[in-house]
């Protein structure tokens, strides 16, 4: 029983359903694992042991009585700190929410609980999901399990590191411009950014509402597919939710590699040689299996980063206005005037990156500059969406590296925000277009650091992505072993 924590998602699921071990035994083993390695990884912002073990024992009871809530009853899942869990702290890794306990569950949380999942709150993140390295957390820096002097990616770095270091088999993250796919890539696991509107945002603390989506990260594809099938589907409490049923894996037709048309990119100087090499090796393999590779023109997507940062900062400046020390957020300077209370609560509560973005967003939304920046960015966003429509009129799926480099060193990019923003060069356009994309591990570099492939599909074609990823994974055996120190 000692090593249940080592199991990947599929093994956890089958072991629970065959009665090989109980949800309690599993949760206890994961707990030992967390206590042993998390002091080095720092993936969790708090240790909710009692809460977890109670949920696990309720699940054990249900299974013992032959009444599991579903085939998922007892499966542990990490929860990012910007997804509301009732009565639990939900701080978005920010000081301004340090005492915030959510009075309600996010829709995704409710759906997981209905099926019996055991929640493991709260994984670390960049403050309000703004960042690409998890270094913007107000509380701690999460490290990459493959090399603890490096970042795990961000902003869902806590979720990715927790999964990669076997502290949970699957976790939820959120992705506004790459925050599920990029950490998944840098930590050698699978991560899905679903089609915009397929997963409810109710109870996800908003960063940029027109881009944010919740999605799963897992060590194997099955975890991503299962969790997506549970959390997707119409939610009347989210006005941007699509009128669709939850994803049904049984209706998925399999995709054959033979004859499949795959859009590929020419490598640029921004992509590191080792990432480029792993990418081209996968393409060679696919070609040998009969896939047709079509080189696409990605030049228009080159503007995705500036468009993204105008839209995302504009939306965040508006969304974060509710944290004023009165409606939300810890209150400072009670003795001063009302204005002083606002100013001190926000000045003390927000970290430097969040402040930078509120300033940028307020500027681009201001009367004198709206047309020049925000208005133009919105028009350019439409062109990005059309560009993707053009791609998918020619190919079935688009393949790119997820991240231009493997995991960088802690502190390497913190003094230069533009360098940090460039970590998202291959992921932001996907959110602007609202299409689904997934990162999967395809190998590692000469230092043993994971490399990921991003597979992007047309709107609502998650099933096509899953089926392709399944065929591809079985051909490349992407299992990437952790170093001894953490294994």
Binding site for ligand GLN (CB under 6 A): 129-132, 155, 175-179, 207, 312, 424
Identify which of residues 25 and 412 has a Cβ nearer to ligand GLN in the complex. Answer: 412
Least Cβ distance, residue 129 to ligand GLN (angstroms): 4
Catalytic residue selected from 179, 200, 317, 467: 179
CB 142 within 8 A of CB 80: no
Give, for 109, the enclosing helix (H) or strand (E): helix 107-114
Residues with Cβ within 8 Å of residue 463, at least 6 apart in sequence:
247, 249, 251, 252, 253
Catalytically annotated residue among 29, 132, 137, 155: 155
Q: Is 155 a catalytic residue?
A: yes
Closest CB to ligand GLN among 130 and 151? 130
* Minimum distance, C-beta of residue 208 to ligand GLN, in the bound complex (Å): 8
How far is Cα 251 from Cα 329, in angstroms, rounded to an integer? 45
Residue 273 class from Cβ within 10 Å (0-12 exposed, 13-18 middle, 19+ buried)? exposed
Active site residue 80: yes
Quote the tokens at residue 259. Answer: 């004859």
The tokens for 316 are 């965040």
- Is 230 or 432 the residue whose CB approaches ligand GLN more closely? 432
β-pair partners for 119: 77
Minimum gap (Å) between residue 324 Cβ and ligand GLN: 22
CB 452 within 8 A of CB 469: no
Helix residue spans in 232-303 (DSSP H): 273-288
Helix axes 304-319 and 376-394, enclosed angle (nearest 10) = 130
Q: Catalytic site residue 179?
A: yes
Taking the least distance from each CB to ligand GLN, the nearer of 48 and 127 is 127
- What is the number of the residue whose Cβ is closest to ligand GLN? 179
Q: Which is nearer to ligand GLN, 207 or 350 (CB)?
A: 207
1 vs 418, beta carbon nearer ligand GLN: 418
Count CB-CB contacts under 10 A for residue 412. Answer: 15
Catalytic residue among 13, 42, 80, 115: 80
Q: Tokens for 415?
A: 């003094």
Contact between 192 and 220 under an 8 Å Cβ cutoff? The reply is no
Distance of alpha carbon 446 from alpha carbon 51, whole angstroms: 41
Shortest spacing between CB 316 and ligand GLN, in angstroms: 8
Helix then strand then coil, in percent of the chain rounded to 5, is 45, 15, 45
Cα gap 331→329, rounded to integer Å:
6
Catalytic positions are 80, 155, 179
């Amino acid at each position: 029983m000692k090593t249940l924590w080592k199991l990947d998602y599929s093994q956890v699921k089958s072991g629970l359903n065959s009665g090989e071990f109980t949800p309690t035994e599993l949760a206890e083993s994961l707990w030992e694992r967390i206590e042993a390695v998390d002091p080095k990884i720092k993936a969790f912002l708090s240790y909710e042991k009692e809460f977890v073990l109670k949920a696990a024992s309720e699940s054990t009871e249900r299974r013992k009585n032959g009444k599991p809530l579903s085939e998922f009853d007892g499966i542990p899942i990490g929860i990012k700190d910007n997804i509301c869990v009732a009565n639990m702290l939900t701080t978005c890794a920010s000081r301004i929410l340090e005492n915030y306990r959510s009075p309600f569950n996010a829709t995704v949380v409710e759906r997981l609980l209905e099926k019996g999942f055991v929640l493991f709150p709260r994984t670390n993140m960049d403050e309000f999901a703004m960042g690409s390295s998890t270094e913007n957390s107000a509380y701690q820096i999460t490290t990459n399990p493959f090399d603890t002097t490096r970042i795990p990616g961000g902003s869902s770095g806590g979720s990715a590191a927790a999964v990669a270091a076997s502290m949970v088999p699957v976790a939820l993250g959120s992705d506004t411009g790459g925050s599920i796919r990029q950490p998944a890539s840098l930590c050698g696991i699978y991560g899905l950014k679903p089609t915009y509107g397929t997963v409810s945002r109710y109870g996800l603390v908003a960063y940029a509402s027109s881009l944010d989506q919740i999605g799963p990260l897992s060590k194997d594809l099955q975890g991503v597919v299962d969790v997506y099938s549970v959390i997707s589907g119409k939610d009347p409490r989210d006005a941007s939710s699509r009128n669709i049923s939850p994803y049904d894996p049984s209706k998925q037709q399999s995709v054959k590699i033979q004859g499949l048309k795959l859009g590929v990119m020419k490598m640029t100087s921004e992509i590191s040689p080792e990432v480029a090499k792993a990418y081209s090796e996968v393409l060679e393999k696919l070609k040998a299996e009969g896939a047709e590779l079509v080189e696409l023109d990605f030049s228009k997507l080159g503007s995705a980063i500036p468009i993204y940062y105008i839209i995302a900062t504009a939306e965040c400046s508006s969304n974060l206005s509710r944290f004023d020390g009165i409606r939300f957020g810890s209150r400072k300077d009670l003795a001063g005037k009302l204005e002083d209370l606002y100013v001190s609560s926000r000045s003390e509560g927000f970290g430097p990156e969040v402040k930078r973005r509120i300033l940028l967003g307020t500027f681009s939304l201001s009367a004198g500059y709206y047309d020049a920046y925000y208005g133009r960015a919105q028009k350019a966003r439409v062109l990005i969406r059309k560009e993707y429509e053009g791609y998918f009129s020619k190919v079935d799926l688009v393949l790119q590296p997820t991240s231009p480099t493997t995991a960088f060193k802690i502190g390497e990019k913190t003094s230069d925000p533009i360098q940090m923003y460039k970590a998202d060069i291959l992921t932001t356009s996907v959110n602007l277009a609202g299409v689904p994309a997934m990162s999967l591990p395809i190998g590692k570099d000469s230092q043993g650091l994971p490399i990921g492939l991003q597979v992007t599909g047309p709107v609502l074609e998650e099933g096509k992505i899953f089926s392709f990823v399944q065929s591809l994974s079985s051909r490349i055996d992407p299992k990437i072993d952790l170093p001894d120190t953490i294994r």
